[in-house]
Amino acid sequence: MEEKEIGPYIVERFLGQGATGKVLLARHKDDQNQKVAIKVIKKISFHDKKNLQAKVQREISLMRLIRHPNIINLIDVLESENNLYIILEYAEQGELFDYLIVNRFLCADVAIEFFRQIIFAIEYLHNHGICHRDLKPENILLDKSMRIKIADFGFARWVKSELLTDPCGSPHYAAPEVLSGKPYDGKAADVWSVGIILFALVAVCTFFFLIYIIFIHFFLFSFWFDCLDFNLIILIHSQIDIISIFLFDFLLMKSC
């Protein structure tokens, strides 16, 4: 049976299904203007999924310490006998991924502003010793003012100087050393992902982005790499660089 109230919040509707549980839209009983997103995690899943409880606890601990205008805010954590509820700031415009799919084109001013906010947030995280490790347009939200909000800290880690060894994130946005299973620098891996996101912002859903993804993941970092002619690799890479430059120049000529 669907819950109608969770603590001081009245549930309005279902928003979506995440990896660890469903997400609900709710309003505060005493302030109808305060909308929140509530991530519902069934406690029984802590027994069914190895390391899930530790992962969720780490995510909550990290988010309690983070306060930044371009990072989704953790408001509260509640629990019942059967469920854990993570109360989050609600980003009304949804995922950046969906925004790119719907619009299919961004003028340079908007793309640059989105990217500026993304790197502003990542710089804040890295300065506080945190690497996100799952940066992608699906984990970047937009609030009602179209302001960037980095979300989903399920794979985030505190790091000092040590290398990480557990592969995580999404293949299309993960750094090659992460995909290869080698020890990697978590912050450097974030920078790679941000670079892929920049290309996505510039190319949006065009053929050029598809070419880039195919090239990165099926040529450079596949097990066929050693068998490919090195000159061919350079030629393909140069062609994509040229296309990317012309595409970026074209977008710079557009204004909002």
* Residue of 59, 137, 134, 53 lying closest to 95 (CA atoms): 137
Residue 227 DSSP class: G
Structure tokens at 103: 């619009």
> For residue 85, what pLDDT is reported?
97
Give the separation between CA 232 and CA 46, rounded to whole angstroms.
49
Q: Could you tell me which residues come within 8 angstroms of residue 207 by beta carbon, excluding any fewer than 6 positions away?
A: none
Whether 94 and 41 have beta carbons less than 8 Å apart is answered as no
- Residue 190's Cβ-count burial label (10 Å; 0-12, 13-18, 19+) is buried
Residues catalogued as catalytic: 134
Q: What pLDDT does 246 receive?
A: 44
Give the pLDDT score at 135: 96
The full set of domains in the chain, from first to last, is: 5-89 (3.30.200.20), 94-252 (1.10.510.10)
Q: What is the pLDDT of residue 83?
A: 94
Q: What's the chain's Rg over C-alpha atoms?
A: 20
Rounded mean pLDDT for each run of 10 residues along the chain, 256 residues in total = 82 88 93 92 87 90 95 96 95 93 80 94 96 95 97 91 86 86 92 88 60 54 45 44 47 49
**For residue range 97-110, what is the model confidence (pLDDT) as tens digits?**
999 888 877 787 88
196-216 pLDDT, tens digit each: 898 888 776 444 555 555 555
Query: Is 254 annotated as a binding-site member?
Result: no
